[in-house]
């Protein structure tokens, strides 16, 4: 029986390829936790069939390697058509919020195609797939469970909620039984916590950075979350986290000072001297930063806010907030 594994991180795809559990492993990686969501038309075009002469970088098969994938690229197959080549299609899903968002998007995308959904099985893990040994991943394969109609229904409602113009529908998912997708609830909460907090005006990842700096962790990478780091939050990627840290320092009234280089972009990373200066920077809280950590300052009162949270455009004038103590939304 031919088997395809779809997963949502490059590290997870690498680990699953090493474990040799399927004829083909594909990492389908989109970033949905940060920035403006791509319109459905753009996603449809990315994963639809495409002529062999398509523009490079505009199709899901671009930059993927392997004999089956290269054959599919020559044929211009869409994701649906590629899945139909296999007898079984397994979804291996990490617990982090972006993987959960990719899961609900993919299930919603596949929902009209019974030729694919009838072949789907899913494994939702408590641990990061890319951090496991091949033998352990082989043992996990026994936990695969078929995808049923209720999985597709919950995923469709959740994806619509994430794309809504206010956070209310996403917040209301907390009252819905997520049993079909057990890791979804923790991601709903984690993403709500990244709304500006009532009181500080910062999301949970930003607030943790200030707390760590206040505790004496003064170098930029001390403040990054990740495996065996002082901040265990996994909501944002490496690049997204660097941009958040930049935002705390490069604004009208900064909360952090002391960067010797920046901004946190590809140009800085490709210059070894600049990157070293950045890493050696000794950061400090400003007066506003100290006030925020003490519970007496609000970042949004001094600095303009304009960013996207799912389908919600957050601005200074239209600022949805999260009340962590009451676990409630605060409308503008």
Give the pairing of strands 284-285 and 256-257.
antiparallel
**Per-residue confidence band for 19, with pLDDT thresholds at 50, 70 and 90:** very high
Q: Check pLDDT > 80 for residue 55.
A: no
Q: Check pLDDT > 90 for residue 50.
A: no
Higher pLDDT, 194 or 55: 194
Q: What is the share, in percent, of the chain residues with pLDDT greater than 90?
A: 83
CATH of domain 3-162: 3.40.50
Residue 27 has phi, psi (to 5 degrees) of: -90, 110
**All structural domains of the chain with their residue ranges:** 3-162, 204-304
**Per-residue confidence band for 123, with pLDDT thresholds at 50, 70 and 90:** very high
CB of 316 closer than 8 Å to CB of 306: yes
Q: What is the CA radius of gyration of the chain?
A: 21
pLDDT digits (tens, 9 = 90+) for 287-331: 999 999 999 999 999 999 999 999 999 999 999 999 999 999 999
Give the pairing of strands 120-124 and 145-146.
antiparallel
Per-residue confidence (pLDDT) for residue 142, from 0 to 100:
85
CB of 91 closer than 8 Å to CB of 109: no
Strand partners, 145: 122
User: What does the block give as tokens for 216?
Assistant: 């004496």
Give the global pTM. Answer: 0.93
What is the rounded CA–CA span in Å between residue 208 and residue 203?
Answer: 9
What is the rounded CA–CA span in Å between residue 298 and residue 282?
Answer: 24
Q: Check pLDDT > 90 for residue 205.
A: yes
């Amino acid at each position: 029986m031919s088997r395809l594994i779809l997963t949502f991180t490059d590290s997870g795809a690498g680990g699953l390829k090493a474990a040799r559990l399927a004829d083909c492993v594909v990492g389908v990686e989109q970033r949905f936790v940060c920035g403006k969501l791509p319109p459905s038309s753009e996603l449809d075009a990315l994963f639809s069939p495409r002529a062999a002469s398509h523009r490079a970088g505009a199709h899901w098969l671009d930059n993927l390697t392997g004999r089956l994938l290269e054959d599919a690229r020559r044929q211009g197959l869409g994701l649906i058509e590629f899945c139909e080549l296999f007898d079984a299609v397994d979804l291996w899903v990490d617990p982090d919020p972006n993987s959960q968002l990719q899961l609900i998007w993919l299930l919603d995308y596949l929902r009209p195609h019974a030729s694919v959904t009838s072949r789907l099985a899913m494994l939702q893990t408590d641990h990061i797939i890319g951090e496991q040994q091949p033998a352990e991943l082989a043992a996990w394969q026994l936990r695969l469970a078929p995808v049923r109609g209720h999985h597709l229904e919950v995923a469709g409602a959740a994806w619509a909620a994430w794309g809504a113009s206010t956070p209310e529908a996403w917040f209301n998912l907390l009252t819905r039984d997520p049993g079909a997708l057990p890791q979804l609830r923790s991601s709903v909460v984690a993403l709500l916590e990244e709304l500006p907090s009532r009181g500080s005006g910062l999301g949970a990842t930003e607030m943790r950075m200030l707390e760590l700096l206040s505790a004496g962790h003064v170098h930029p990478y001390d403040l990054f979350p990740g495996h065996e780091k002082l901040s265990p939050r996994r909501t944002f990627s490496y690049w997204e986290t660097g941009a958040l840290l930049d935002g705390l320092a490069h604004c009208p009234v900064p909360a952090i000072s002391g960067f010797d280089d920046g901004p946190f972009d590809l140009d800085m990373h490709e210059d070894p001297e600049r990157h070293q200066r950045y890493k050696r920077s000794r950061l400090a809280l400003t007066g506003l930063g100290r006030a925020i950590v003490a519970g007496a300052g609000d970042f949004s009162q001094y600095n303009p806010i304009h960013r996207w949270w799912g389908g919600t455009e957050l601005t200074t004038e239209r600022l949805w907030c999260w009340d962590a103590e009451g676990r409630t939304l605060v409308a503008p």
